Amino acid sequence: MVQKEVEFLIGETASGKTEFLKELSKKEDFVVFNCDSRQIYRYLDIGTAKPDKEFLSKVYHYFVDITEYDKNFSVGDFYRKFKEYLKKEDKRIILSVGTPFYLKTILFGIDDIPEISTEIKRKVKQMYQEEGLSNLYNLLKKVDKERSLDLNENDKQRILRSLEVYFQTGKPITYFFKKKKNIQFKIRNVKYLYREKSELKERIERRINLMLKDGLIEEVEKLRVMYGDNIFFEKPVIGYIEPLSYIKGKITKDRMVEDIVKNSMSLVKRQRTFFKKILKELSDCTDLKI
């Protein structure tokens, strides 16, 4: 069987992946496997810098708008869907990567994680209620530093899930990602859209101003009506949790923008740390700058 070829387009947030793909689509035909853990959610459009509807109608994107904000979609779900979509797609495939953990799953696969017992779930929930999320995040850093680096310290759902796996199995969740799998595709090439951090910061600031003009605050208001405020804390997404604080009068508009920039740059740091590590392992890459 001839292996399918997959091209990688890797870049931190605001690096210009969508811009690059739009330009490429003017002269070449392809589909996109969107490797972004925020753009999977329907109705989270402006704050996630989701590709516009016109571009989505021109170039098909897998993993965009595939689930609801209040539904669980694990990295294991992503991996299973990836294999399913890969089998049926015959067009040229470009994997657009912004979420490091998704990329790691694609490259190394994932073992089945044992089912978490009710007792363990109750234990972790009680720890959260008694100790708070910050302490649980610090615990995760001790038992699974690799996973902690990939998560926002306010990501309640994934922090608790990682600790549940640890207490259930005695192993960090990243243990289940370390075994090399025989994934049925060949990496054709890899392009890393490298930008200096100062440039990324400027691009993030411009992007936020455009988002506000396009109706980010109104989008957050609609999501509050659909899902309630708790969803923003259970699944914190940069670009949404900060506007919620502004809407509730906890911070000024200027502070909101500052917080989005600060949190986005923290994400950039985590992304870059991982990308540098993984790109070194891809010996057949081209167009790399690390």
Residue 186: the pLDDT is 87
Q: Does any domain span residue 127?
A: yes
Residue 181: the pLDDT is 54
Interior/surface letters 273-286, b for 16+ CB within 10 angstroms, e for the rest:
ebbeebbeebeebe
Residues 153 and 9 in one domain: no
CATH code at position 68:
3.40.50.300
Mean pLDDT of all residues in the chain?
Answer: 91
Q: Does any domain span residue 229?
A: yes
pTM of the model: 0.81
Residues 184 and 88 in one domain: yes
Q: Does any domain span residue 236?
A: yes
Residues 233 and 212 in one domain: yes
Residue 5: the pLDDT is 92
Q: 83-91: long-range contacts (C-beta < 8 A, 24 or more apart)?
A: 83/183, 85/33, 86/4, 86/6, 86/33, 86/184, 86/185, 87/184, 89/4, 89/31, 89/62, 91/29, 91/30, 91/31
Residue 154: the pLDDT is 83
Q: Does any domain span residue 288?
A: no
Residues 170 and 207 in one domain: no
CATH code at position 168:
1.10.20.140
Banded pLDDT at 156 (limits 50, 70, 90)? confident
Residues 46 and 189 in one domain: yes
Mean pLDDT of 56-74: 95
Residues 228 and 205 in one domain: yes
Mean pLDDT of 141-151: 88
Residues 81 and 217 in one domain: no
Mean pLDDT of 67-77: 90
Residue 35: the pLDDT is 96
Range of 12's domain? 4-111+180-195+271-281
Residue 274: the pLDDT is 87
Residue 251: the pLDDT is 97
Q: What is the DSSP string of the chain?
A: -PPEEEEEEE--TTS-HHHHHHHHHTT---EEEEE-SSTTBTT--TTTTPPPHHHHHHS-EETSS-B-TTS---HHHHHHHHHHHHHH--S-EEEEE--HHHHHHHHH--PPPPPPPHHHHHHHHHHHHHH-HHHHHHHHHHH-HHHHHHS-TT-HHHHHHHHHHHHHHSS-GGGGG-S----SEEEEEEEE----HHHHHHHHHHHHHHHHHHTHHHHHHHHHHHH-THHHHHS--TTTHHHHHHHTTSS-HHHHHHHHHHHHHHHHHHHHHHHHHHHHH-TT--S---
Taking Cα atoms as reference points, which of 64, 18, 75, 17 lies closest to residue 41? 64
Residues 12 and 95 in one domain: yes
Asked whether residue 70 carries a pLDDT value surpassing 80, the answer given is yes
Task: Kindly state the percentage of the chain with pLDDT values over 70.
Answer: 94
Q: Does any domain span residue 289?
A: no
Banded pLDDT at 288 (limits 50, 70, 90)? very low
Q: Does any domain span residue 241?
A: yes
Q: Does any domain span residue 277?
A: yes
Residues 81 and 146 in one domain: no
Q: Does any domain span residue 100?
A: yes
Residues 101 and 16 in one domain: yes
Per residue in 208-227, pLDDT (tens digit) is: 999 999 999 999 999 999 99
Per residue in 184-209, pLDDT (tens digit) is: 688 888 899 999 999 999 999 999 99
CATH code at position 242:
1.10.287.890
Q: Which residue has the higher pLDDT, 87 or 283?
A: 87
* Overall domain count for the chain: 3
Residues 17 and 160 in one domain: no
Residues 60 and 184 in one domain: yes
**Taking a C-beta distance cutoff of 8 angstroms, is the pair 185, 281 a contact?**
no
Residue 105: the pLDDT is 86
Q: What contacts 13, CB < 8 A, 6 or more positions away?
A: 49, 98, 200, 204, 264, 267, 268, 271
User: Which range, 63-77, 110-124, 270-284, has the best average confidence (pLDDT)?
Assistant: 63-77
